[in-house]
Structure 1
Amino acid sequence: MNGTADTTLVRAGTFAVLGADGGVSGRRGTSPDGLFHRDARHLSRWTLTVDGAEPAVLVPSDGEESARCVLTPPGTRDEPAAYTVFREQAVDAGVLTECLRLVNNRPAPVAAVLSLTVDADFADQFELRSDKRRYEKSGAQRTASTHAEGVTFTYERGAWLSRTAVCASPAPAAVRPVGAQDTAHRLDWHLELPAHGTAELLLTATAYAHGAPAPALVGSPAEAVAGRAADTSAFTGTPLPLPPGAPGGLAAACARGLSDLAALRVPATGPDGEHVRVPAAGIPWFLTLFGRDSLFTSLFALPYRPGLAEGTLRALAAAQGTEYDTGRGEQPGRIVHEIRHGELAHFRQVPYGRYYGSVDATPLFLVLLDSYTEATGDRALAARLEHHARAAVTWMFRDGGLDDGGYLVYSPDPQGLVNQNWKDSEGAICFLDGSQAEGPIAVAEAQGYAYDALVRTARLARSLWDDPAYADRLDSAAAGLRERFLRDFWMPGPDFPALALDGRGRQVDSLASDAGHLLWSGILDARHATRVGRRLLEPDFFSGWAIRTLASGQPGYHPLSYHRGTSWPHDNAVILLGLARCGLREEARRVALGLLEASAHHGHRLPEVMAGYSLDQHPRPVPYPHSCSPQAWAAATPLAVLTALREAG
């Protein structure tokens, strides 16, 4: 494959990662390529040769609605290529479609020989990641069967059945296996091009995933592009209320974010079996419903695209825990952290079919429910989800730890996540010396979410559910949580909240960005909130682009650590909304301008995460090497910037 740049196409829960020549080589590790649908790779090889050789790339693959590249057979200065191949590819739900248009460059007929080697390894996404785990798949069988239009690959493991059908028009002259060791096949065409004439070849690869409805047939990239364009336009078309004198780059960042959010929507099911669309977390590993990610994304977008919030609330209510299952962390009333559809989840080889290891998705569900009701005036959804909301509140007290004057806590999950807040990497909740806190752990920001959830649910109970006694109990619990939080979390020395309390009640004394979330949730009084907001803009926290997850200069700080020194746009969005809420206008504007400038350096698409190096150290934001792109809550961050600037004035 020529070149190293990849093009990513995504729509309706399907994505393809293609090389510079439009091909797929079957890579693994941190940047796999292929066609992916419902957590499985449905194409692992898709390599084109022309006249028996790898084509030269005149224009590498690029694009978002479709991928386009220009290829030729190898040629020389004295004998330039006889013909040129214009390659276009697009994805739709479960389908990759491709058009190869061959243009004869000569005034005489030309014969062109094209060959496409294809294969489907059906690898689960967890297998493709570079964590060196190996999964036993006894009894699994991959087969390939040829037919007039191409080849169909089948994967069976017990009752698990997946297929990928590759079809071509015109039909290939021959379809033959590449070797005896795998299922790869080569499709050959012999095309006659008239003088200065053209010929076209249409290809489709359709993924039939286990347990999913068959994808709708798509005839060409043009058809897929038209469908995507209409769908995207319906989502992005309503103008945003940009304030007078809006900072440069705000409009472009919001437009880029809305376009990405449109592409990242995936289908889901609501509590009554209704079909909804929700924001998936990101590409390549997280094109699925995530409780926390989808909730924050929907909160940021709520003033402008409330349909995301409605879909997210319905889908999460449908997946809410109903029983105790320690293998996946399920508890009655708990909101799901992650939903997976792949083979390994089906066979419980990973706990992620439905995994509930999140301390904060449940209170955030309640925050979004009231926020949606308040923003839209739609009282029907909160009435429909009353039972789910009450179950979520019950979980916070009974299983979450709020009973008897406690805190919302989590314990490390030996089968899942060590940390279950948004900073969920191992070692993220660390003391000043860098050592990981041991559980049960009460992280600061989750207490703020719980406080806000109680206040908001009390409002719903009083105004909508006609249950003032329940509302009074929740208000009382919120007031008690707010009072003891300041007593137990505030550190007099640094004059700043602790990152967490460990299982022995000790303050986890790192200075971390989590404190900024407390301004957004309202658990701090105005005096303490002002101290936190101003402290977060000091140089050890604020890089010039964004606020770091951990203040520099501490032993645990590392500018390339996932949660111990990098800067996350969504984290900054929450902080920014909190600064605006607390009237810290100058601080809010500095964070907003930093994020917009960082966005401009990334083509107005904010990355999931940036390295913690400061503007003084390098004139451009330094990338974090394993950042997802596009990523939903980063895509929604410019909308939060817009909201904060409107509120701050």
Structure 2
Amino acid sequence: MSTHTSVRGTTFLITGDTADVVAGTEGFYAEDTRHLSRWEFSTGDALRVLSAVRDRQSTSVILSPATPRNQDAAYSVFRDQALGSGSLVEEVRVRNHLAVPVAVTVEFRFAADFADQFELRGTGQFERPGRHTTIVRESGEVLLAYERDDYRKWTVLRSSVPAAYAGEQLSWTLDLPPHGEVPLRLEVLAGEGQRVPVSGEQPARVADVARRARLDVEEFVEGVDVPAHGWPELRAAVTAGLADLADLRVPAPGQPDLRIPGAGVPWFLTLFGRDSLITSMSALPYRPELAGATLRALAAVQGRVVDPARIEEPGKIAHEVRQGELSRFGQTPYGRYYGTVDATPLFLVLLGGHRRVAGDGMAIELESAARAAVDWMFHHGGLDEHGYLVYRTDGPGLVHQCWKDSARSICFADGELAEGPIAVCEAQGYAYEALISTAELAREVWRDPAYADRLTDRAARLRADFEQDFWLRGQDFVALALDGRRRQVDALASNAGHVLWSGILPDGRAQQVGKRLTEPRFFSGWGVRTLAEGQVPFHPVSYHNGGVWPHDTAIAVAGLARAGLTTEATHLAEGLVAAAGHQPGNRLPEVMAGYARAETPYPVRYPHSASPQAWAAAAPLLIATSLA
């Protein structure tokens, strides 16, 4: 059975084919918490799906009793669902097909486990000593709650017609007139704290909730003039990506008026430093407000102290901010977690880019945050001590603090795992561009030429050192990283595309690297593999050691274009755009398998791929800009 996902900000719904929530990670979620772990419709008869139509805003499923071929069903059921911010609304219509009255009992079985998303991701076993309660209110509404100290989550179930309640089941007996139908409306509300919605209000209507969602998306998408170069397939991918970005906007932690790109469904609908920054950068020419909101949100949670438990350091930009139970009580380090080496330079790169698009205002507002970020790069980040941005691999949370953050992703060509402190190649490119970009701000906005000269000089030294230390002689390529013993981590990896994007390599070297990225070992025909085929650790269905990430390929396209390899950049872009055309709604997934296009005439999705996902949604925008 397949699953289907819809999203509105920090609220999302995963259902099966029948629009039920019955198994696995299916559920109705809000703010990192599952508010319904079961939502199962029944009439007492075995039902089959006649039709299922889903768009971004709503789901419509038609069901009927599974009768034998020579027997017509007595009735049909029409289920319509829509997702609001913190709410799920459903309308059920049962239609009688007979010339006599029919009574049909309709039931919804429900449960709310209030599970934290880290439990459901399978990242460990966690103790949750809170208390579950169920209260049936006077109006017939059901209030489900979970409390642990001052932490409280609740789910309210309400209906247009009072239900009979028994255990974890709501039921109604509907008297259907001959050839007539009876409607029923339900609403599920999710929230936290002591204040719950007042009792007795009528459920919202599916059409109204879907209309509000549709208008919100249309307002975000319409009026955005993205060059598609007479390329209708790219135009379709851009439009799909913009719609996904509209749905993935989430309120910034502590700043609900700021809507920032959440990283993706199902596990990443929150502020993510690297993800939100790269997404905002890709969308910057078209939706600069995303960049402005992201910059403000990250500046608000910028590191202030040294806290090894969450790898916080003064000036450092956060990796992620969480609000679920396990984060709230310190059972994971991710409540406010700083395990990222690259978000800080990317923050500075985005700030400089935003200034070029939207003027000096943000650069003036965030000057102190920018200077603190630069200080972090020199001191805690490692530029002073190591000559490069580095991260340790023995801290809490993630082993690797670059975009390839899985435990086996930074490795040698023979499969040996790299040990820290690690200087990964793309982080040095980001640092180079951050220094150049911030020097421009210092010189032209902050009127501090001495500071600008200091940053420019350090950028030049970093560029020279990088070419000397990272260049793989005889490979015409750059090392994936330097390990803790300053050895070149010699796996041929797609991180090199990010290096080209940053401009840290001289033109001749950049063109050599760019041409290698288009070779069959790297380019699957759909996109750039994260690890070139033929190396010991390569696996085509690996998250970071052989899969194809759309955002990674789009960055490679931008890097090749920057290096003057327009033909090669277009070749990569054509593969990724073709992959989008094979996806429902032209939506690129987070990651695809690294099988060759000649082997699979359609792109194969990685089994745990997030979708929709912000990087992937923004990838067509970056391609359109890069090839303009």
Q: For this structure pair, what is the TM-score category when the shorter chain's length is used for normalisation?
A: over 0.9
Pairwise mapping of residues 529-568 of structure 1 onto structure 2 (< 5 A)?
A: 529-568=510-549
Q: In 2, Cα distance between the equivalents of 1:584 and 1:78?
A: 65
Matched position secondary structure for 1:288 = coil
Matched, 1:434 2:446: no
Partner of 1:94: 86
The answer on 1:231 being equivalent to 2:216 is yes
Q: Residue 176 of structure 1 is aligned with which of 147, 152, 166?
A: 166
Say yes or no: does 1:193 pair with 2:176: yes
Query: Contact between 1:452 and 1:523, CA under 8 Å: does it hold in 2?
Result: yes
Correspondence 1:150 to 2:141: yes
Which residue of 2 is the match for residue 607 of structure 1?
589
Corresponding position of 1:84: 76
Query: Which residue type is aligned with residue 401 of structure 1?
Result: G
Q: Give the whole-Å Cα distance in 2 for the aligned partners of 1:368 and 1:298.
A: 8
AA aligned opposite 1:126: F
1:415 counterpart (396, 401, 417): 396
The corresponding residue for 1:46 is 39
Which segment drifts farther, 67-76 or 354-363?
A: 67-76
Q: CA deviation at 1:60?
A: 3.5
The SS at the match of 2:20 is coil
Deviations 1:588-646 (A, max 9, x none): 11011011111111131111111111112221122211111111100110101111121
595-604 vs 500-509, which deviates more?
595-604
In 1, the alpha carbon distance for the partners of 2:583 and 2:205 equals 31
* One-letter identity of the residue aligned with 2:478: P
For residue 497 of structure 1, the aligned residue among 478, 483, 487 is 478
Please tell me whether the aligned partners of residues 278 and 615 of structure 2 are also in contact (alpha carbons under 8 angstroms). yes
Q: Report how far residue 78 of structure 1 moved.
A: 4.3
Amino acid aligned to 2:13 = A
1:218 and 1:494 mapped to 2: Cα distance? 64
| Residues in 2 aligned to 1:96 and 1:405: alpha-carbon distance in whole angstroms | 52
Output the TM-score relative to the length of structure 1.
0.93
3-state DSSP of counterpart to 1:636: helix
SS in 2 for 1:296: helix
Counterpart for residue 249 of structure 2? 265
2:112 to 113, 117, 120: 120
Stretches of structure 2 that go unaligned for 5 or more consecutive residues are: none
Are 1:205 and 2:188 counterparts? Answer: yes
1:333-363 deviation digits (Å, cap 9, x = unpaired): 1111011110000000011001110000000
Give the whole-Å Cα distance in 1 for the aligned partners of 2:259 and 2:144.
29
Structure 1 residues 149 and 212, CA gap change in structure 2 (3 angstroms):
closer
Match of 2:264 in 1: 282
Is 1:166 aligned to 2:157, yes or no? yes
1:240 maps to 2:225? yes
How many residues matched?
Answer: 624
Q: Deviation at 1:40?
A: 0.5
Residue identity opposite 1:16 in structure 2: L
Three-state SS of the structure 2 residue aligned to 1:485 is helix
Give, in whole Å, the separation in 2 of the partners of 1:419 and 1:360. Answer: 11
What corresponds to 1:141 in structure 2? 131
After superposition, residues 14-33 of structure 1 pair within 5 angstroms as 14-25=11-22, 27-28=23-24, 32-33=25-26
1:638 maps to what in 2? 620
Q: Distance in 2 between matches of 1:531 and 1:255?
A: 34
Question: Offset of 1:268 from its aligned partner?
Answer: 1.0
Q: Is the 8 A contact 1:550 1:565 kept in 2?
A: yes
Residue 212 of structure 1 deviates from its aligned partner by: 9.8
Distance 2:291 2:143 in 1: 39
Question: Which residue among 567, 583, 608 is the counterpart of 1:626?
Answer: 608
| Within-5 A mapping of 1:424-503 | 424-503=405-484
**Aligned-partner SS, 1:286:** coil
Q: Does the 8 Å contact 2:9/2:262 carry over to 1?
A: no
CA distance in 2, matches of 1:243, 1:314: 31
Structure 1 residue 247: Cα displacement: 2.8
Distance 1:16 1:525 in 2: 48
Instruction: Report the equivalent of 1:180.
Output: none
* Mapped partners of 2:300, 2:395: distance in 1: 26
CA apart distance, 1:107: 2.3
The equivalent residue for 2:278 is 296
1:325 deviates by 1.2
Mean Cα deviation higher: 35-44 or 197-206: 197-206
Separation of aligned partners in 2, 1:92 and 1:616: 42
How big is the shift at 1:218?
6.2
Q: One-letter code of the match for 2:446?
A: W
**Aligned residue for 2:3?**
6
What is the distance in 2 between the residues matched to 1:440 and 1:623? 33
Identity of aligned residues (%): 51
CA deviations 1:564-600 (Å, max 9, x no partner) are: 1111111111111111112111111101101111111
Q: Which amino acid aligns with 1:364?
A: L
Retained in 2: the 8 A contact 1:427–1:435?
no
Match in the other structure for 2:578: 597
Q: Within 5 A, what are the aligned runs for 1:50-69?
A: 50=43, 52-60=44-52, 62-69=54-61
Please report the TM-score for the alignment, with normalisation by the length of structure 2. Answer: 0.97
State the one-letter code of the partner of 1:512.
A
The answer on whether the counterparts of 1:269 and 1:318 sit within 8 Å (CA) in structure 2 is no
Q: Following superposition, which runs of at least 4 residues in structure 1 exceed 6 angstroms of deviation?
A: 211-218
Distance 1:447 1:153, change over 3 A: same
Deviation at 1:274, TM superposition (A): 6.7
**Is residue 37–residue 209 contact of structure 1 (8 Å, CA) maintained in 2?**
no
Q: In 2 relative to 1, CA 585–312 (structure 1 residues): closer, same or farther, beyond 3 Å?
A: same
Aligned equivalent of 2:27: 34
Q: Distance in 1 between matches of 2:148 and 2:340?
A: 31
Partners of 2:197 and 2:298 lie apart in 1 by: 24
SS of alignment partner, residue 627 of structure 2? helix
Q: Displacement, 1:53? A: 3.0
Shift of residue 104, structure 1, vs aligned partner: 1.7
Cα distance in 1 between the residues matched to 2:196 and 2:625: 39
Q: Which runs of 5+ in 1 are unaligned?
A: 178-184
